[in-house]
Amino acid sequence: MAELARGAGNNAAAPLEKLWGEPEVADRGVSEPTLTVDVDGFEGPLDLLLHLARAQKVDLSRISVLALAEQYIDYINRVRKARLELAADYLVMAAWLAYLKSRLLLPKPQNDDQPSGEEMAALLQFRLKRLEAMRDAVARLVNRNRLGRDVFPRGMPEAVIVSKKSAFQATLYDLLTAYAAQRQRRAITNVQIAKRHVWSLKQAREILTRLVGTTYDWTPLDRFLIAFLTTPEERATARASSFAASLELVREGALEIRQMEAFGEIYLRSGPKAAKFNPGLAND
């Protein structure tokens, strides 16, 4: 009987996988495409990659990164063709994968200090595995015997047993919410939200830091970023302003830049102070 009961208790596990968003999310604002696209169902590009990787039905360490990159880029291109707005994170990942693809396919030139395609692929696999591990952890956590769902406290407590010294009750969260709410109330917060038209490459690079960390070496990434981030007519301005932004970052020490020859590819890599984007990981 006890066994039977245990089985029943665990049925409450929430289904974690849902490819389709809520109906009201799925059909918002799509003019007349022949396909309904659900990007909202994904928690960012890594999540999307994880779904694509699962479809290969092999262990994550055995997936074909090349095939995965191609699928992802294909997907993004189809979404773009359908004239749907995509969050910049997805586009930046597409740019990085396009670069990865080129590194995997083209022979490595001599004296090349850019990361090898294999290194980049390994990094991607690591990140996918790490995220998948947390997904599994969620599933295991929510299926535990949880207080208030599977196990219960005394319904009729007789006293609050506390240590003598704190007759007053307040948490740090109480304190901070009170402070933030009060200060915010007093400050005038009638600020208009600025509509973002073009994602600058500086912003893109910040997203990239979040997506692949700060470990990337000399990369001609902007070529790839430009392709995904802007429409053809905006490219010239985007390139110009991004170059200006790059110089600014070089001045700050967040970026290093090099060009081997006139009109040649512009290479970028993180500078000595780039860690400020991601302080926690710098030297822990």
| Binding piece for other proteins, criterion CB under 8 A, among 179-187, 227-235, 247-255, 256-264 | 179-187
Q: Least distance from C-beta 226 to other proteins, angstroms?
A: 22
235 is a contact residue toward other proteins (CB under 8 A): no
Site map for other proteins, 68-87, x if CB under 8 A?
Answer: ---x--xx--x---------
Q: Least distance from C-beta 247 to other proteins, angstroms?
A: 23
Residue closer to other proteins (CB basis): 102 or 241: 102
Q: Which residues contact 104 (CB under 8 A, 6 or more apart)?
A: 65, 66, 69, 117, 118, 120, 121
| Binding piece for other proteins, criterion CB under 8 A, among 37-45, 195-203, 217-225, 261-269 | 37-45
Closest listed residue to residue 281, CA positions, set 127, 51, 121? 127
Angle 170-174-178 (CA atoms, 0-180°, nearest 5)?
Answer: 125
Closest listed residue to residue 94, CA positions, set 110, 80, 109? 80
Residue closer to other proteins (CB basis): 44 or 220: 44
Alpha carbon distances (Å) from 101 to 67, 72, 159, 163: 9, 11, 65, 61
Tell me if 257 sits within 8 A of 243, measured CB to CB. no
Residue closer to other proteins (CB basis): 210 or 223: 210
Q: Among 168, 232, 261, 263, which residue sits at the site for other proteins (rule: CB under 8 A)?
A: 168
Residue closer to other proteins (CB basis): 51 or 239: 51
| Binding piece for other proteins, criterion CB under 8 A, among 155-163, 220-228, 231-239, 240-248 | 155-163
Residues 109-138 that bind other proteins (CB under 8 A): 116-119, 121-123, 125-127, 129-131, 133-138
Q: 256: buried, middle or exposed (CB in 10 Å: 19+, 13-18, 0-12)?
A: middle
Residue closer to other proteins (CB basis): 141 or 262: 141
Q: Which residues contact 277 (CB under 8 A, 6 or more apart)?
A: 206, 209, 214, 254
Residues 257-276 that bind other proteins (CB under 8 A): 275-276
- Residue 68 main-chain phi, psi, to 5 deg: -65, -45
Q: Among 22, 28, 111, 187, which residue sits at the site for other proteins (rule: CB under 8 A)?
A: 187
Q: Among 28, 140, 195, 196, which residue sits at the site for other proteins (rule: CB under 8 A)?
A: 140
**Which amino acid is it at 99?**
Y
**Residue whose tokens read 């407590």:** 157
200 is a contact residue toward other proteins (CB under 8 A): no
Q: Residue 269 is inside which H or E element, if any?
A: strand 266-270
| Binding piece for other proteins, criterion CB under 8 A, among 161-169, 219-227, 252-260, 263-271 | 161-169
Residue closer to other proteins (CB basis): 98 or 121: 121
Max CA separation in the chain (angstroms): 81
